[in-house]
């Protein structure tokens, strides 16, 4: 199984300790016995899709209030998922498509024994660091290889992609199968205005603070840097993505297009009496969005957890809520506690991944200050949360006082339920309890208004299907999508950017920057440069329609051969969140040839290269 190094980073980071930094230094298992089992990595393979729109919509009666409708919809979705799980044993998720226009049941086969086979040094996987992130041309070997096990033996898989040793040529048609996370192309103008005026400014404010916090913590020592690397990368990556998105919605041209398209559709709907249900949908979305806007800050702070940035707090809340939710009938639980998802939730909850007290205290104290700044220090809930102490002291007391870093203790509380959770008097659980009523209340408000939007979007989708068919595809939902595009360079500031780079380009870039971080080339790559064919293609771009979540997507040619792996989009691709364009927006991939070249000539991993290219089958 191949993915990006930055996708595997979480797993890599969890192996490491003060003496061994696999994330930074890489890893290669010379034999199967050396393959390292990941602590809590779960892979899901899509097995089937079933349209359950009719059944989901049938559960919602016209006389229901929006809140009742939300509960009914949540109940029927949990019911469908549970039935499917019981029947097939497969992970089963009901997915909302077209912002509520359709509901599909996705079934996944789960693999939880995933072992690391190979990872390069992070410095070549993420060559150019934050400055080159979301940029092109690029020179990154952003890959990571795993082997999937079942019953302690390598899984026997029927379907897999053959490896192309030829790579791509310019203008070639390629396909990308992946899990784009979230797009907002079907958003109404009111929703886009919210994104522009509130969601992105708030998100950036928070990320800027975290980036400064984690960067200065990391600068204190190598060990700090190792501990925070994964979080910091995530923060920087999101920050850059949001800046690109903000640039999109701050472009009056894009908003004018959206306004014109919305007006055209509204006019067409108004002209067709049979579509009258949809006439008021845009206004209903705007109204719901207004209420969401008023509650979003509180929701993010209390429910999403922006006021409590701490793994231990997350564990505490899961235990507290599990004790409340599990005794309820499946259909009445908070969605994440539905039967169909419990196994995955437990897999995470009982992970032995390391928790660093200093980092926990740092992020918790910082987020408590953020909470106080946003809700107001004198807010009664803030006063209760701080308990008469400065944020640093409160965070330190909580982290030092909790027993939740002990996985056995978590298991005990989880299995014994509420009496044990209550009796534990664990300070972190008590903190979660302190805010739970408020957090649930604001979540209910947000969920109810989201349901209202969803109903209105369903009406718009129905109208759009009637007018245009399903020529528009749904917004991304982290589920599988097959995209396609051409391998193609582009023009930027008057210059033509070529469709691919070579290994030689890497060394040139290193020289231009005197081999200084983040443009330093790893020692192995410097020492063994002479072995490489420097003309080997390294990275390439295509016009495939991707977005965050597509990291690790294979790129295949018309013979279904693996020619590369997506690891980024250029900065111009971030506008794809709101509208597709192939003018400058490009998906960035590692070429299949450079992977083999590096494995053979730099990493002494010829055996692995042989296995990948089908020359041998590894024992």
Which parts of this chain interact with a copy of itself (CB under 8 A)? Answer: 129-131, 193, 196-197, 201, 204-205, 208-209, 211-212, 215-216, 219-222, 239, 246-247, 250-252, 369, 372-374, 376-378, 386, 388-392, 513-514, 516, 518
The end-to-end CA distance of the chain, in Å, is 16
Report in angstroms how near the CB of residue 143 gets to a copy of itself at its nearest: 24
CB 290 within 8 A of CB 306: no
Contacts of 38 by beta carbon, 8 Å cutoff, 6+ apart: 11, 14, 114, 115, 116, 146
The residue (of 52 and 210) whose beta carbon lies closer to a copy of itself is 210
Euclidean distance between CA atoms 387 and 431, whole angstroms: 10
CB 586 within 8 A of CB 498: no
Question: Which H, E and C letters describe 117-131, residue by residue?
Answer: EEECCHHHHCCCHHH
Report in angstroms how near the CB of residue 212 gets to a copy of itself at its nearest: 5
The residue (of 346 and 379) whose beta carbon lies closer to a copy of itself is 379
Report in angstroms how near the CB of residue 388 gets to a copy of itself at its nearest: 6
What DSSP letter does each residue of 427-483 carry, written as one string?
Answer: HHHHHHHHHHHHHHHHHHHHHHHHHHHHHHHHHHHHHHHHHHTT-SPPPP-SS-EEE
The residue (of 369 and 536) whose beta carbon lies closer to a copy of itself is 369
The residue (of 327 and 523) whose beta carbon lies closer to a copy of itself is 523
The residue (of 256 and 406) whose beta carbon lies closer to a copy of itself is 256
Distances (CA, A) of 544 to 140, 240, 321, 565: 19, 20, 41, 12
Euclidean distance between CA atoms 40 and 134, whole angstroms: 28
Report in angstroms how near the CB of residue 81 gets to a copy of itself at its nearest: 39
Quick count: other Cβ atoms within 10 Å of Cβ 396?
19
Report in angstroms how near the CB of residue 535 gets to a copy of itself at its nearest: 27
Report in angstroms how near the CB of residue 243 gets to a copy of itself at its nearest: 9
The residue (of 489 and 518) whose beta carbon lies closer to a copy of itself is 518
Computed on alpha carbons and rounded to an integer, the radius of gyration of the chain in Å comes to 25
The residue (of 221 and 470) whose beta carbon lies closer to a copy of itself is 221
The residue (of 220 and 400) whose beta carbon lies closer to a copy of itself is 220
CB 528 within 8 A of CB 602: yes
Cis amide prior to 518 (ω within 30 degrees)? yes
The residue (of 210 and 544) whose beta carbon lies closer to a copy of itself is 210
CB 56 within 8 A of CB 94: yes
The residue (of 202 and 473) whose beta carbon lies closer to a copy of itself is 202
State the alpha helices, DSSP H only, in 89-180. 122-125, 129-132
Report in angstroms how near the CB of residue 24 gets to a copy of itself at its nearest: 13
The alpha carbon of residue 202 and the mean position of all alpha carbons in its chain are separated, in whole angstroms, by 19
Dihedral (CA of 464, 465, 470, 476) sign: positive
Report in angstroms how near the CB of residue 278 gets to a copy of itself at its nearest: 27
Task: Quote the tokens at residue 19.
Answer: 């003496």
Report in angstroms how near the CB of residue 289 gets to a copy of itself at its nearest: 15
Rounded-to-10 torsion of CA 188, 189, 190, 193: 130
Residue from 141, 413, 483, 438 nearest 301 by CA: 438
Report in angstroms how near the CB of residue 201 gets to a copy of itself at its nearest: 4
The residue (of 236 and 551) whose beta carbon lies closer to a copy of itself is 236
Report in angstroms how near the CB of residue 576 gets to a copy of itself at its nearest: 17
Report in angstroms how near the CB of residue 205 gets to a copy of itself at its nearest: 5
- DSSP H or E segment with residue 163: strand 162-163
The residue (of 204 and 466) whose beta carbon lies closer to a copy of itself is 204
Strands (E), 38-156: 43-51, 91-97, 102-111, 113-119, 144-150, 153-154
């Amino acid at each position: 199984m191949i993915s990006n190094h930055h996708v595997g980073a979480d797993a890599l980071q969890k192996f490491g300790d003060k003496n061994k930094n696999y994330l930074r230094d890489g890893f290669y298992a010379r034999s199967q016995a050396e393959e390292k089992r990941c602590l809590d990595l779960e892979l899901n393979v899509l097995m089937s899709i079933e349209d359950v729109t009719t059944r989901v919509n049938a559960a919602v009666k016209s006389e229901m209030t929006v809140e009742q409708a939300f509960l009914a919809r949540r109940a029927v979705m949990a019911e469908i998922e549970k039935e499917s799980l019981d029947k097939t044993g497969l992970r089963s998720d009901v997915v909302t498509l077209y912002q509520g226009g359709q509901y599909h049941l996705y079934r996944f086969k789960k693999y939880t024994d995933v072992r690391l086979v190979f990872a390069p040094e992070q410095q070549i996987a993420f060559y150019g660091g934050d400055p080159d992130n979301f940029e092109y041309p690029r020179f990154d070997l952003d890959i990571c290889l795993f082997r999937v096990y079942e019953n302690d033996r390598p899984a026997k898989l029927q379907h897999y992609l053959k490896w192309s040793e030829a790579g791509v040529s310019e203008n070639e048609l390629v396909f990308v199968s992946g899990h784009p996370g979230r797009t907002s192309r079907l958003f109404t103008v009111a929703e886009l205005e919210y994104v522009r005026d509130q969601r992105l400014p708030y998100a950036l404010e928070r990320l800027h603070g975290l980036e400064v916090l984690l960067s200065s913590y990391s600068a204190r020592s190598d060990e700090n840097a190792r501990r925070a690397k994964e979080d910091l990368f995530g923060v920087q990556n999101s920050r850059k993505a949001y800046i690109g998105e903000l640039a999109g919605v701050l472009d009056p041209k894009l908003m004018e297009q959206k306004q014109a398209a919305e007006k055209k559709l509204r006019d067409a709907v108004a002209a067709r009496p049979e579509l009258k249900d949809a006439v008021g949908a845009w206004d209903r979305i705007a109204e719901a969005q207004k209420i969401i806007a008023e509650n979003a800050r509180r929701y993010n702070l209390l429910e999403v957890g922006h006021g409590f940035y701490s793994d231990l707090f997350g564990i505490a809340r899961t235990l507290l809520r599990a004790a409340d939710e599990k005794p309820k009938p499946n259909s009445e639980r908070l969605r994440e506690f539905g039967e169909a998802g419990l196994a995955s939730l437990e897999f995470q909850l009982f992970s032995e991944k390391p928790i660093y007290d200093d980092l926990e205290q740092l992020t918790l104290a910082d987020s408590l200050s953020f909470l106080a700044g946003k809700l107001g220090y004198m807010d009664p809930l803030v006063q209760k949360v701080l308990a008469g102490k400065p944020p640093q002291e409160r965070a330190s007391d909580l982290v030092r006082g909790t027993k939740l870093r002990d996985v056995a203790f978590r298991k005990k509380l989880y299995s014994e339920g509420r009496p044990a959770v209550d009796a534990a008097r664990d300070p972190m659980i008590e903190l979660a309890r302190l805010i739970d009523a408020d957090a649930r209340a604001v979540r209910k408000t947000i969920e109810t208004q989201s349901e209202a939007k969803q109903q209105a979007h369903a009406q718009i989708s129905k109208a759009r299907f009637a007018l245009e068919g399903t020529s528009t595809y749904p917004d991304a939902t982290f589920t599988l999508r097959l995209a396609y595009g051409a391998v193609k360079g582009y023009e930027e500031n008057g210059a033509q950017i070529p469709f691919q780079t070579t290994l030689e380009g890497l060394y040139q870039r290193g020289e231009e920057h005197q081999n200084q971080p983040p443009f330093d080339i790893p020692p192995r790559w410097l020492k063994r440069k002479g072995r490489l064919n420097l003309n080997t293609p390294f990275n390439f771009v295509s016009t495939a329609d991707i977005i965050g979540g597509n990291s690790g997507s294979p790129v295949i040619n018309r013979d279904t051969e693996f020619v590369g792996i997506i690891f980024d989009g250029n900065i111009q691709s971030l506008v794809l969140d709101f509208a597709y364009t192939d003018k400058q927006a490009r998906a960035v991939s590692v070429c299949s040839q450079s992977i083999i070249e590096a494995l053979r000539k730099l990493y002494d991993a010829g055996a692995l290269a042989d296995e990948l290219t089908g020359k041998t089958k590894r024992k």
